[in-house]
Structure 1
């Protein structure tokens, strides 16, 4: 185990990392979750109306919009689930890894071949999937979540069905498929190509410069850049699916679906007129309301 000073240094570095990464990660999640369709109605000239929500065209614009509407608390939404998961992983590493590995930051996944690596990665994803869903929803929700009241926060983030049957989170349509596809592409595709082009990187220690093929390195570098065209859509799909609420009634949130006398009022940052992002859920609700009005007319 680490000494007292080493533990303090480790916790301090984790706190600094969270202070820097949580706002950046939160803006990225919101940017990927943002959905801004064109209006459903035509204007006086017969053209499609402009976008129904805020037009956000860049990551920096999203970061600025979050700060403008929600301030610093909005930038740090998702801090608690991120901090808890980070702390759990750190404690696990402190218990099962040697002091030398912890001090030098040396840790690698088990070397069990391609199939073993794929199974290991899928298993790790299954363990962390509920935390990923809760974190994404905590970041994108318009509600103010308390830092030290997890029960109240979960009542806002999860539907009654999800709270009664937590395994429903794994049955979110398309979510597991997108996550497994992402893992399979990285493990079966990129990792296999890397072993073929740069076998020296699989050896322990830092390879010598003369042992690395320049052609192989440049080829893999270009392939990794091109792979963003495949991985980025999968990550966008995964985030948008993670914030879709299972068995939620259209037009209501999890709080308003509670049994009578069991509902709680939830404060919002921006109110009902201006949210930081537009979501597919909101669009579906507006679409269903529009269809109901059309049918009743």
Structure 2
């Protein structure tokens, strides 16, 4: 039995706390049986830092993308398409829309659309961030329905209706530490609506620490706590639950799980 952190920013943990180098981060994760990691990049510069930081760790996969909240350069999309073909890269993103503060809606939409096209072209899943833009996300995904490669809405906080529309399009839905918050009763209710074969879990570390660790730097090791909360909500055997989650990951990202089951046994 092992867990997969399907969305973390593992290089950002060390940026916040210099004492938490990658070996310390992984050692703590392994103690909680978190064995595989998908570390997400948010810019070209962030990707290259992440790539160098994790280069020698075969159990850390990467994404490449341009986050909607940040300013990007003219040639960044071309660079994303180039680096998206690296073997270590298994996903595009994170991308998406965030209208919480930004007034640059048109630029965000164009950027998101370009990520969709790159995802389709190289046939790698897309990881989507959405905030105050659920309607626009669905409209764009529907408009590209014939050119869409499946993907994940990460750190889901939307409605049942939004979840249903995402599932109809063929997307997976991922829950972060937000699901553990005391005020997340509605979200825990929505969780029960999601088919198990379309479910992912994540930490989004170093952000969104689960209860009772809020206010602390989030870590991949805390995925175990998130998994236990979700498992109790769903009333499912923990071993069965982890096996389903792992199968979802290996299926979406087209990874041979026997390689990583072997890795898990050696740890």
Q: TM-score range by the shorter chain?
A: under 0.3
Using structure 1 for the length normalisation, give the TM-score. Answer: 0.23
* Bigger RCO (CA 8 Å, 6+ sep): 1
Name the structure with the higher helix share: 1
| Structure with bigger gyration radius | 1
Name the structure with the higher strand share: 2
Using structure 2 for the length normalisation, give the TM-score. Answer: 0.25
